[in-house]
Amino acid sequence: MKKLTNTEKAAIVYTKNTNPTNPETVTHDTPLEELNLNWSEKELPERIRTKHVHRLHPYLGKYIPQLVEIFLRKFFKPGQTVLDPFCGSGTTLIQANELGINSVGYDISAFNIILENAKTLKYNIKKVKSEIYDVLDKIEAITQSNKPNRQLRIDDLKQFAPDIPKIDSKYLNNWFAPQALLELITFRELIFTGDYEYKDLLKIILCRSARSARLTTHFDLDFPKKPQMEPYHCYKHSRICHPTQEAYKFIKRYSVDTVRRVEEFSTIRTDASIKIEHTDSRCAEIPPINGVITSPPYVGLIDYHEQHVYAYKLLGLEERKEHEIGPASNGSSQKAIQEYKKSIAEVFSRIASSMVNGGRMIVVANDKANIYPEIAEMAGVETESVVQRHVNRRTGRRSGEFFESIFIWKKP
């Protein structure tokens, strides 16, 4: 691996501040060495990290909004445009809107696009409530009596409108108990056949409910390997737990939670534009931009389609796994790393050609392989600074030491 040059070593910024930074205090004039991004759980609790629409649906591997806010305040102004070429769950887009900054986001995942649209759309809150509670009432009427009005089966879907996407019956029958599947399929049917304006938002409630209702252990919701059919010792609850048999309780809980979160964001969102495209950043037509804030996929760590497989199977979404950059399935061999570097550098090189001179790219990465200095060189940008960050809030079975670097690249 390429070692850091003396110039690159000199670019590393070490914080002089012992107090974690409050994002709202950051301005263009705030020195980088004054930034302390090492928040503890007490200093930055989960309810703050997952404020308003940021928690409409869990998403593994995303960065926290406070980190994005700090660098938006430091390097961007209202009315300018920031790009996130790997926008994932939409964190950069949402935070930019809060500050009156226009944003553009690209992603290869069909599910991510639905999630981003659901989070960023400007809603009529009265209609949001009306549609969500209308669906909830209908699901309850159909599925929550001793003798449901109609016992749905997967095969019954063939009688509905032909434009309803096909689903993977084998997957759903394996991963959901009969009652849970009845409730989820009822919800799905109502979304696709109902006259609702905010269908993406309803789809996110459905998918979030499906994630929780799968036949898996409570402590392994990210990447369960096989259905859990029997009672088990639960590491999360320190007792014997049973596989989930129903989905309605999650549908109801997340419906109420979604209304609250969308309503909360509606009170602070601005009129800054948000443009989202379902595309590969390596071939997207990039408009003029002022800069970038992004967290690229890590090499050989996460299969981004696989973490939301239930959504793809339930909604019948098109998968583009073969277009993912650095998926876990490719591993982290030298060959995989070289392919990753080439693809990431291609993205940033194309972006640089549309970015204003002097514009910054803020790239958050856990660069264990020390490949990002070379990626910057390949992309034709200069490493201006590197801010180190200790992520020390991780909890549960994924707890432990974790560090990431915030690379600040500048277009010459």
Q: CA neighbours within 13 Å on the CB side: how many for 135?
A: 33
DSSP state of 353: T
User: Which amino acid makes up residue 206?
Assistant: L
Show the tokens assigned to 89.
């769950």
Residue 154: pLDDT band (50, 70, 90) is low
62 and 131 in a single domain? The answer is no
Residue 309 lies in a domain: no
Residue 248 lies in a domain: yes
Q: Are 142 and 148 in contact (CB under 8 A)?
A: yes
32 and 153 in a single domain? The answer is no
The answer, yes or no, to whether residue 82 has pLDDT greater than 90, is: yes
pLDDT at res. 395: 47
254 and 295 in a single domain? The answer is no
pLDDT at res. 147: 56
Write the CATH number for 287: 3.40.50.150
143 and 239 in a single domain? The answer is yes
Total domains in the fold of the chain: 2
Show the tokens assigned to 394.
């991780």
pLDDT at res. 84: 98
Residue 328: pLDDT band (50, 70, 90) is confident
Residue 318 lies in a domain: no
Domain boundary among 218, 247, 265: 265
| Mean pLDDT confidence for 111-129 | 98
pLDDT at res. 397: 47
The DSSP element (H or E) to which 129 belongs, if any, is helix 125-143
165 and 94 in a single domain? The answer is no
pLDDT at res. 198: 98
Query: What region does 59 belong to: left with phi over 0, alpha with psi -120 to 50, or beta?
Result: beta
Dist. CA 408–CA 139, nearest whole Å: 49
Beta strands (DSSP E) in 164-217 are none
The answer, yes or no, to whether residue 161 has pLDDT greater than 60, is: no
256 and 294 in a single domain? The answer is no
176 and 68 in a single domain? The answer is no
**Mean pLDDT across the chain:** 90
pLDDT at res. 159: 54
Q: Are 388 and 405 in contact (CB under 8 A)?
A: yes
pLDDT at res. 299: 85
Query: Tens digit of pLDDT for each residue in 375-390?
Result: 999 999 999 999 988 8
226 and 280 in a single domain? The answer is no
Query: Tens digit of pLDDT for each residue in 6-34?
Result: 555 668 888 888 899 999 999 999 999 99
By DSSP bridging, strand 239-241 and strand 274-278 are: unpaired
| Mean pLDDT confidence for 276-284 | 96
Q: Are 360 and 329 in contact (CB under 8 A)?
A: no
Residue 252: pLDDT band (50, 70, 90) is very high
258 and 220 in a single domain? The answer is yes
Residue 95: pLDDT band (50, 70, 90) is very high
Residue 120 lies in a domain: no
Query: Tens digit of pLDDT for each residue in 31-77?
Result: 999 999 999 888 999 999 999 999 999 998 889 999 999 999 999 99
Residue 156: pLDDT band (50, 70, 90) is low
261 and 296 in a single domain? The answer is no
Show the tokens assigned to 8.
């690159």
pLDDT at res. 396: 47
Q: Of the spans 160-174, 305-319, 344-358, which averages the highest pLDDT?
A: 344-358
The answer, yes or no, to whether residue 151 has pLDDT greater than 90, is: no
375 and 345 in a single domain? The answer is yes
Task: Find the domain containing 244 and state its range.
Answer: 125-265
pLDDT at res. 1: 44
**pTM listed for this prediction:** 0.92
Domain boundary among 265, 289, 314: 265
Show the tokens assigned to 380.
């034709």
Residue 27 lies in a domain: yes
258 and 277 in a single domain? The answer is no
